[in-house]
Structure formats: structure tokens, C-alpha cells
Structure 1
Amino acid sequence: MDNRKHDERCPLIVIHNITRLTTNEIERYCRKYDKNLRCFRRKNQYNHQYMLVLFSSMITANQFLNDRPHFIQNCRINTSLVSESFYGPKFLCVQINKYASITEDCLYEYTTKHFGRVLNCVFYSSRGYAFIEFDQLDDAQRALSSSNNEINGCKFQYYPRHNNSNKILPSLPLTKLVHIGNFLSKDQDKFLNYFPNLQNFTTHESCYGEIYILGLFNINDSIELLLKRPFFLNGRILNIFIDIDDKLTECNNYLLVRNVTYRLTDYNLFEYFSKFGYILNCYRYGQTNAYRIQYRDRISLHKVLQFNRIHVIKSVQLQIEQE
């Protein structure tokens, strides 16, 4: 279990403009600043891809932010703390005709050359506007007082961003729905003490008669839940998934275990297969004789597969395969 301390400002950074980049490329670049970070690729309701990067401390997160702008494979990325506001004296808005021949990179290069260091530059061409974040307040003021700004024959003007302009950015959801499985009714009294950051929850029953929880967490807390897995409550393993569907979680390193009799518990399997690597979730497929075991990394999954395809726990022979 990850025991990293929770900072008052959780160092969760969001990275935009990553369409041309792979998750591994972004993670490899960010690890230059923090070797213990975790990356999660996501999409919002507009099908816009972004990356959430959870740093291990606010110190490394600030080092990463102070070095902006960042370029990965010659592609400029936009980065900021999730908890930061997207308005203020250093943020400007640019109204641009959506048919103008201006790109985000052109706007970034022009603004940097004429006014100073730009931390973020996001251009929503289909909506006809962009927002720019300056490093220095003086640079933002000079851009505001400028006139006759032109790129490729297209004129534009810088405007201040007020509090009511934060709707310009496609907003990240403030909360996440978390699926918590392997839950019993008798656990409900202790549940809020076990998950103190849980904002609200409802109890449900699957088609197999199994009880599970749908809980609402702050987006930062939901990311921390993924890091701290597995959870144990009253001798059982609670399985944590984001967005209900476990296929949407940050990894799919699943091991399928067959011929598991009911005298073997999920903890028996967890204890045995943990010697091959870090396990995130371990649960039975409904009322079948099969289990799913989710490893944190693919190396652990390959290790157990190469060791043997037949494993014995308490004289029970189990067959394994990669799912």
C-alpha cells in the first residue's frame, strides 16, 4: 500500500495537447522530474484527450511547472495543476476568426517573440478563441495594451479573462464515480470511516446477488484510491474501479485463473500470486470457478505466466492464462 502523504494541494497535473503523443512518451518525459509519479490517460465529454499525472510531492510538481513550456517529440504540451484556476491577470483571451489561417503553434510563437514567456497556449479553432497564460504579469499587460497584432494577414486582439470566462476551457469533472466491489451489508457502518473522503454513495446488487458500492469522490481522491490499492476490510479484498467499467482503469494486466473451488478465498489467491508482483484487484467472476487478478505492471503478469501455467494452492490445481 502506498503511504505517500496527502498534500493540501494535491500535486495532480493535467496535460493537454497530447493527441500525437503516446502515454509512454509522456510518462518517460515526466519521470525526469519525479520517478514515483503515475500517469492516467483520459477523455472528456468532447472526446478531447488529456493526461493526469500524479506527482509524489509538491516540490517535484512545482519544478515541472516552473520549467514550462514543455516540448515532447517537438510537440508543445500545455500543463497546469488541476486545482489551479484558469483565469487571473496572467491569463488572456484571444478572439480569432475560425476561418483564419492561424494555428496554435503560430499564436504561441508570435506571443512569445513579441511579449515574453508563455506557459500555456490553447487554441479552440472551431470556437474561434484561444487562451494564453503568461509567466510574468508585465508581459500580459504589454500584450493587452498592444494593437495591430497580425499573423498570416489575419488580425487579432488580446483581451483580459474574467471570472465568468472560465467556461471557455472544456472543464474537467470535479468528481468521479468509483465502483467498490466485494462489499457486504454489515460493512456499511464502517464504510465512511474507512473512506473518509467519500462524498456520497449508493448500494447496489449485481445479477449474481453480490453487493457493490457506487461512491462519489473528488477527482484527486479517486486517483489516490487507484494508487493505494488493494484495500482490505474485515478480511476481504475490496476491488476499486473507476467509472464502473474496469476496462477504463489505467492498466489491463489481467490474469485469468480457472478451477478455483469455493474453499479458496480471494485472499488465498491474493497471497499466493502477490509473490510475482503487485496486485491491484482480485475477484471471482460472479458464481463461476474463475478469478480475475489485475497486476500493476505487465512484467509481473509475464513473470507468473512464464513460471508455470499450473499452480497449486491448498492441493487445488489452478490453470492460468492471460486475459
Structure 2
Amino acid sequence: MNNRNDDQKHPLVVIHNITTLTTKQIETYCKKYDKNIRCFRKKNRNNHQYIHVLFSSIITATNFLNDRPHFIENCRINTSLVSEPLYGSKFVCVQIDKYASITEDNLYEYTSKNFGCVLNCVLYKSRNYAFIEFSQLNDAHRALASSNQKLNGYLIQYCPRNNSSKILPLLPLTRLIHIGNFLNKDQEKLQFYFSNLKNFTIHKNCYGQTYILGLFDINDSIKLLFKRPFCLNGRVLNISIDNDDKLTECDNYLLVRNVPYRLNDYNLLEYFSQYGRILNCFRYGQTNAYRIQYRDKISLNKVLEFNRIHVIKSVQVQIEREQN
């Protein structure tokens, strides 16, 4: 009971989104509402900075909160009473695609423009969601009733925010695809071969070989994986789900040894396809070994049971099941 009375006498306000602001700047701004405030800059266990502002009365604190949103040096700050629960009918949870290029200010501006006055907007990028506090209940209801909202080309979804700490993660709307056996000269034709590619970055592996990480809508990525293998300029592109997605494909890999450089991707793809559908076929760096991925274990077992020595264009190669 005493704690509650203390909150009424000396209300404590927490201010977030203050990394570019000094304590002095915030103190000067808040003193427009209460000359007797005290400010304390703090960090939580995740090294996130915030400021506690101790007001001298509930009246001055209420006046400060009623004037939200606040901007200090063109920086929007999130403010609330420490004693206030961060849930209720005016609070909305926004679920965001994990690869979306969306900032807290982007989301604040979009929501304010389309639904009404936003008091607070806190983005948890690593968790793929944000919390928004509306000034008016009707604005929150309009946001919740909306559908197919897009920000910077990515879908966002407004959901009710209750007192539960459990947030259901939004299913990824995009998927990161690894495209290997790729040359820089292929970049011009990339959009032609993969018309649904949203964005991509170019990388090099430990062998110095170039590969790309491409972003696809989840439905397009599924179609892409089913269409394998992909051949480009005499090579078979190595296409798989990137490891960052924590999604695993079948591991039906065949290791082919003693493959000279006069045999190329097409030669091996054509020969080993007689045993079943091949998804990927590529050389291990600068070695004499190839890695072939079959679509199913039946095909892999079929080629292994046939013979461990195969002849391709008068060249003997050895095969074995790749051990994980």
C-alpha cells in the first residue's frame, strides 16, 4: 500500500529510445513540465539504455504523458509510467516478417498516418514484433480490424495485446535461399532466371567460391526448391534453404571421388540422374570430389547398391554415401 502511495506522490516515468540523447537534454526537456524532476540513466541486462524520470507530483507527470508523443532534438521517445501495465485495450501487438527492413520510426509513422495518434511504439527486431499504444480506443480497434497491411513492401499484422508474455511468432513470410556454384558474370542474368527474387547479397565461401543469399516469398521459395536442378552457363546451381532459417532438407547426399576437371556438372548430372531425381550437383571447392543430392533415399540407395565404381566418359569415379 505504501508503494502505491509513493507512486502517486512521486510518480516515476520511464523513457526509452534515448541512445542518441544525453541525460542533460532529456532533463532540460522534462523540466518544462516539472522543475523539480530528477533523471537517472540506466541499462538493463541486455545493455539497453533507458532513463527514469522522477516527477514531483502526479499532476506534472500526467501533463507530461498527456502530451505524448514527445520529440527531443527530432528524436521520438517512448514514455510511460513505471507503475502502468503495458497491456490493455489501447495496446496492439504488431507481428513483422523476420527479414523486413522496418525501423521503429517507419512503423510509428505508418501507423499514425493510417490509424491515428500513437503514444508509444516499441520495436523488438530480434523477436519480430512491436508494441504500439494508441491514444484512442477506436484507433486501436481500426488497426486490429485491418488486414493485408504492407510497410516497405513487407506484410505486417496488428494483433491484440493482452497481459500474456507469450507472443506467438509470425510464420516467416519470406525465406532465405542459398544459391551456390555462382559466378559474378551470372549476376546480370539472375533476375531473369529468378524473377521472384526480392533481394540478394553476394558472399564467398572458404574455398573462395561465390554464392548468393536470395530472399524469396515463402511460396516462391517452395516452387523454386521443387524445380531443381537449375542449370546456368554449363553449371548446376547449388540451391538450398539457408542454414539461418533453421530448416533442414533431406540429406540424401552422394560423394563422388576422383572426378577430373574435364568432367563438368552436366556430365555428372546426366549420368547419375538415371538413378533418380537430383536436386544439387556441385564440386567441393578445388578438390576432385563432387557432392550430389538426391531427392529421396530410394534413389541414393539404388546407385550405391548398383556399384561403387562408375565410368563416365571413360573416367572411373568412386562413390560413397556422405557421412554427416
TM-score (ref. length: structure 2): 0.49
Structure with bigger RCO (C-alpha 8 Å, 6+ apart) = 1
- TM-score when normalising by structure 1: 0.49
